[in-house]
Amino acid sequence: MRTRDHEELAPLVNLADITEIELIILKRMREMTLGDHRSRAVGSGFDFQGLREWQAGDKFSYIDWAQSSLNNFSPLVIREFEQQSTATVMPVVDFSASTRCGIGGVPIAAAVARAIATIGMSANFFQDPFGIVTFDRGFEHLAALRPRLGKNHVVHCVDAYQYERGLQHLPRAGSISTSLAGFVRRQAMLPVISDFLFDDVDEVIKELSLLSITHDVFLVLIDSAFAFNLPKVSAGWIEISDVETGQARSPAASTRSSQTAHANGRSACGATPAQWIWTSSWSASTRRSRTSPLVNSSSNDDCGKPMSKRLLLTASFLLGLASLAGAQPAPTHETGTRDVSVDPIRCWWRTSAPAVHVGEQFDLSLTCAVLESEAVSVVVDESRLGNAVVQMAPFEVVSGSHPADLHAGIRRFFQYEYRLRIINPDAIGTEVRVPDMAMHYRINSKVAANAAVQGRDLLYYLPPAVMRVESLVPDGSTDIRDASGASFSTIDSLNFRAGIFNILGIALIAFGGLMILLVLVRIARGARKWTPADQRQLSTGALVGVATRELAAVRRERGGAGWTDELLDRALAATRIAGSAALGRPINQRVAAADVVVGDGKLIARGPRRGTKRVVSGATTAHDLSRQIARLSVTDSRRSTFESLRDALSTLTAAQYGRDTARGESALDEALEHATRAASTVRSQNMFPRTLLRRWTTSGAPVESQA
């Protein structure tokens, strides 16, 4: 062992000691444990646990349709299986300075380390996760190792305690119980290993008892009786010091008493080795006991005797009988009060007849009284007691009811009534036992500020009940078959429920198809080649839309101020863009500079990304449109569009570049009207899905390429 000052020391527990502990644990555990390590958790597994009514959140695969059909699927019944799980073991060990003291060079920490190894090897025997939590004086600093499986992790935990390394710091969150409960969230076994040399030991135990509501808490006391023995001197003063607080005291030998020794006993642990001479016989026996793989926790008279059998039984109880042990603080009794022990739950059976015939129906009532007060309440899981889910083979449950609960004092009474019968000729002349049943319940309590604390899951086994079967059938019986319980209302209810499920199924299928379509669209978009934003081109439909909006704007502005050179230039540029789109020619577009202005046959359009602009223009003339009109037949529907664009271009070009300075307002208005209608027609022809259909047909070729 190496300390912080790099001083070489012997380890508290070496690997040979741990191996010896493991061998004894394996031998004793195999002698005392038989069968599987049974789990109390209910969930997914292979061992059938029972039936209960369906609740929101249960999987549909757990529904027992055969059992549910017996009660017309109202309610649904599910199967429960025993879930395979393990119990986490987390010793809470003392790492304070008092554990580093001892007799004859054997500190208390050595006994703590051996206890860690003993409990860890016992947990490894059952394949349970094992970890440790360490604390110092006053639980001011907490450190821990996460629980894991395996022998190597047990050795790692022992080394972490000895060498003070590899431990994870735990923040202190309020009280001791809150800090530990925040780290150990799942139900676990928490053996608290310490010498309990605290100033406020009662408060510490009271805090630890709060954890027993959720966890199994045990107190493992390391015997430190030598700390209360002061040297026998006739007179004088003895200086003693506390290694944890650093306080020193010098009591007089003449006034020393047992009460003074007990009050200052923990300070004796900090005395120098020279002051331990009076316990040399105890030291020799302690050295011999270190060869034993178990912790010495006996009284002061026989502290040197090995306690192998006692500690092995303790380890067995820690892992095998966790529900039968716990650490509870001593209750505080007030004057004039008396604590009375009451059962949290008590149940009994009642039958309508002492004996029945085969096939004869009889009533069986289950009545339970549970504790329910302001401070404590017992919550029982009644989901397995309904007549639709309860199993009472070989008895058949015909019907049942559940009356309202009653309250009397601190007790709440609930009752379940069953109507049973048995059809089994082999049961004639015998007493048939009602199958054993168990109920799960929790004890919830209230602490300070009306905060509710939920208890752990407990089991209550119902008392046995028997029924005498006398003969086959009564003499006056004519028919023991049950009449059909199906009615028109039941059939209508089932049909309505089936319709609801059909509608829900169709809706889910449609929703699934929509999700598949969205996924395919996303995949198709991902397969497209990415193009930089400055190289992306606007579609023909978007460009014709720019021209259409520009013509509409010119029309609005012309009505207010008349025709101007600017309006004439904008109208001519928009008409040329529409003509280029009609002929299938490419429309010029480039990224606009910051200082670009409208004019000279150019228009400004918004780019593919927000905040960007494009300069667009067309190079189509009236002569180009006239040549295209000559190629078209008289019956072609596109002929009127080309003629409107040709006439508009001729009029606007003559007004813009002609020698005659006088402008005909009516002719320009008519040309603007023809250009607006033709541009709208060209835009509709270049919108989706017409562009997609044009690609799939031969008519989608450019207009000028057609003969």
Confidence of residue 70 (pLDDT cuts 50, 70, 90): confident
Helices (H), 528-603: 540-561, 565-583
Are 314 and 32 in contact, with CB atoms under 8 Å apart? no
**Residue pLDDT, tens place only, 314-334:** 444 343 333 323 333 334 444
pLDDT higher than 80, residue 105? no
Q: Which residue has the higher pLDDT, 270 or 528?
A: 528
Please give the average per-residue pLDDT across 588-607, as a whole number: 80
d(CA 620, CA 566): 20
d(CA 691, CA 655): 35
Are 631 and 598 in contact, with CB atoms under 8 Å apart? no
Confidence of residue 244 (pLDDT cuts 50, 70, 90): low
Going by C-alpha positions, the residue among 169, 294, 173 that lies closest to residue 222 is 294
For the ranges 237-246, 377-386, 414-423, the lowest mean pLDDT is seen at: 237-246
Which CATH number among 1.10.3470, 2.60.40, 3.40.50, 3.10.20 corresponds to the domain 15-32+87-324? 3.40.50
Q: How far is CA 603 from CA 190, 265, 555, 579, 583, in A?
A: 81, 99, 16, 15, 19
Going by C-alpha positions, the residue among 300, 305, 296 that lies closest to residue 279 is 300
d(CA 399, CA 696): 70
Instruction: Show me where the domains of the chain are located.
Output: 15-32+87-324, 42-83, 345-469, 490-528, 534-705
Average pLDDT, the chain: 75
As beta bridge partners, residue 440 has: 459
pLDDT higher than 70, residue 42? no
| CATH classification code of 345-469 | 2.60.40
pLDDT higher than 50, residue 260? no
Confidence of residue 223 (pLDDT cuts 50, 70, 90): confident
Burial readout 200-224 (b: 16 or more C-beta within 10 A, e: otherwise): eeeebbbbbbbbbbbbbbbbbebbb
Identify residue 630 by its one-letter amino acid code: A
Domains 15-32+87-324 and 345-469 share a fold: no
